[in-house]
Amino acid sequence: MHPIAEKVLARDTRATARACRLADDRAGDHAAILKDLFPHTGRAWVLGVTGNPGAGKSTLTDRLISVFRKQDRRVAVVAIDPTSPFTGGAILGDRIRMQAHFGDPDVFIRSLATRGALGGLSRSAVDIARVLDAWGADVVLVETVGVGQDELEITRMAHTTLVVVAPGMGDEVQAIKAGILECADVFAVNKADRDGADAAVRDLELMIALGGEVASASGRARGHSAAAHHARAVAAAPGGSPTEGPWEPAIARTVATRNEGVAALVDRLEGHRAWLFGTEAGAARREERLREAMHVQLRDALTDAAVAVLGPALDAAVHAVARREIDPYTASERLVEAFRSTGAFTPGGAVAVGDGP
């Protein structure tokens, strides 16, 4: 076993931080370490926390950490941090809010900078979550800021996705909720003491109610699995044991700054977890997520291998497209053929171009 992997399993903080960094950068022996750690993963509950800036995600995450720590669970936090060196202020503030847990050896907090690499963020987050799972985390909280592809990719890797919304954040906030519904398992209406909280809850209830029908129609047409996800059913029965059937997103009201409603929120999250790990529908969902993750992993592995194999052929294709000798659609088809056979690219069909050194 790789010495860093060994140290991660021994819960060495420094080695764990190093393994996270290597996984993030895809540097050093990251592949060997991840392979060694994988058999020791699968125990952690990966909980994604997302929502618009200003909704209070960080404060709520902090409260969740406290609840989990009181239950004597080990907690890891992966904070997807969109700040660059020149605009670090706001998010540093968030991190400081979590500092209450910095001395706790059973809380591991790791920031992960987004740098706009295509698909790179979710790959890093998946790998880091695995490292922290192997480190012994009972819960891995993955907190993201912003809306868009980032969140969608991240929430796909989480077992349970919590979407935090705050009332009264303007019209367009409503708009950017779209796409998020598809991956929200639990909503927290945070800052629930503010005007507009009731309206926000009603809006979410309406979205969830409509979601079942709309998503099942469009989801099926698109080949997505939204149907199973959104269709209406009650998931966690009041008694405690999960009910079969698809999961319907749950809603909790919280005031994170005053620690109100957090226990009820955790109940909702645990309800989803019980559904995911205790029902056939949940097992189907987990397999579907695993399949999606394997697709992403395969896509990345193929791209890496193709770039390495094709090298000069890829350059030749770029130049041929730039000179408009070939369209990019045909060029990429030829590159795929080349990857599966010789590695050379032939723009015209007869003469091989780019058989470089």
Task: State which of positions 193-232 bind a second copy (CB under 8 A).
Answer: 206-207, 210-211, 214-215, 218, 222, 224
The alpha carbon dihedral of 125, 131, 134, 140 has a sign of negative
List residues bridging with 79 in a β-sheet.
111, 143
Of 198, 244, 333, 355, which one interacts with a second copy (CB under 8 A)? Answer: 333
Relative to beta strand 107-113, strand 139-143 is: unpaired
**312 is an interface residue for a second copy by CB under 8 A:** no
Total binding residues for a second copy by CB under 8 A? 89
The rounded distance, in Å, linking the Cα atoms of 2 and 19 is: 11
**300 is an interface residue for a second copy by CB under 8 A:** yes
x/- track of binding to a second copy for residues 79-118 (CB under 8 A): ---xxxxxx-xxx-x--------------------xxx-x
**294 is an interface residue for a second copy by CB under 8 A:** yes
Residue 186 CB, shortest distance to a second copy, in Å, is 18
Binders of a second copy among 16-75, rule CB under 8 A? 31, 34-35, 38-39, 42, 53-54
Residue 123 CB, shortest distance to a second copy, in Å, is 11
**177 is an interface residue for a second copy by CB under 8 A:** yes
x/- track of binding to a second copy for residues 143-162 (CB under 8 A): --xxxxxxxxx---------
CA distances in angstroms from 308 to 301, 305, 319, listed in the order given: 11, 5, 18
Binders of a second copy among 261-290, rule CB under 8 A? 287, 290
Tokens 């709520």: give the residue.
60
The rounded distance, in Å, linking the Cα atoms of 95 and 101 is: 10
Residue 297 CB, shortest distance to a second copy, in Å, is 4
What is the secondary structure of 262-330 as a DSSP string?
Answer: HHHHHHHHHHHHHHHHHSHHHHHHHHHHHHHHHHHHHHHHHHHHHHHHHTHHHHHHHHHHHTTSS-HHH
